[in-house]
Amino acid sequence: MIELGQISDLITRGALFVVNHSAGKDSQAMLIAMKDFGIPEEQMLVVHADLGDVEWPGNMDHIRATVGNLPIITAIAKTSFWDMVMRRGMFPSPSQRQCTSDLKRGPIEREVRRYLKSNQHFGGLVVNCMGMRAQESASRAKKTVFNFNKRNSKAGREWYDWLPIHHLSETEVFQMIEDAGQEPHWAYVAGMSRLSCVFCIMASAADLTTAAKLMPALYRRYVALEKRLGFTLSMSRKYLEEITGIVA
């Protein structure tokens, strides 16, 4: 594949490879794949967007337990999920995903810029690595696996985006984790199929129900917010209590 030759060239040029790590299975498998590809540890940085109380407990512990000695930085947004929702008067939607842009992508990019400024031996050359896979959705299947990021390539930076495991299936992801002698995040074992926010706008009814059972206090807060706003979290436009059958 053409991007692998380009990645080899960027390794030789001494690029910084940023591992966007949510603590989920895809992030975990992506890092394993990157190490298998031969990217030197001294050229890798793990970044986690800390979402506060709307993300799963133990995320940072899981990341620390599975990344070895790689440096880890935490990106924290200037606003919380709750403040963002209250300001908009509604939850995020597939067409307006402020939860991704404002709480994850923006803060991560800010921290990467700071890191490059403090570590000038990388020469502003960076490869931003994300664990999105084609199997997840039609929109993700259409994503470009490797591309030059013009928006972030300024102020002396040369920025690329790379999806190292875009081609892998969910089964292959879990197998890769097992083969590496690791375990996935505890929430998968507890029944979740995805690890994003505990209650995600994209979540299935099964995941929302499992999350409600695992995190009842947080569930009650979401239900109360739905009622206050008169707006649903789920894309199905059904309220959480209707979806899960669990009265908060």
Residue 66, CA distances (Å) to 61, 63, 88, 144 in order: 9, 5, 37, 27
The confidence score (pLDDT) of residue 2 equals 57
Residues of the chain with pLDDT under 50: none
Closest C-alpha among 20, 22, 43 to residue 198: 22
Tell whether pTM > 0.85: yes
The confidence score (pLDDT) of residue 147 equals 95
The confidence score (pLDDT) of residue 1 equals 55
The confidence score (pLDDT) of residue 137 equals 85
Q: For residue 54, count other CB atoms closer than 10 A to its CB.
A: 20
Domain boundary assignment for the chain: 2-170, 198-248
Per-residue model confidence as pLDDT tens digits over 62-107: 999 999 999 999 999 999 999 999 999 999 987 778 888 889 999 9
Q: Is 170 helix (H, G, I), strand (E, B) or coil?
A: helix
Closest C-alpha among 234, 41, 49 to residue 131: 49
Dmax (CA) for the chain in angstroms is 57
Please name the fold of domain 2-170: Rossmann fold (3.40.50)
Q: Is 116 helix (H, G, I), strand (E, B) or coil?
A: helix
Task: Taking the CA atoms of 22, 98, 85 and 244 in sequence, report the sign of the dihedral they define.
Answer: negative
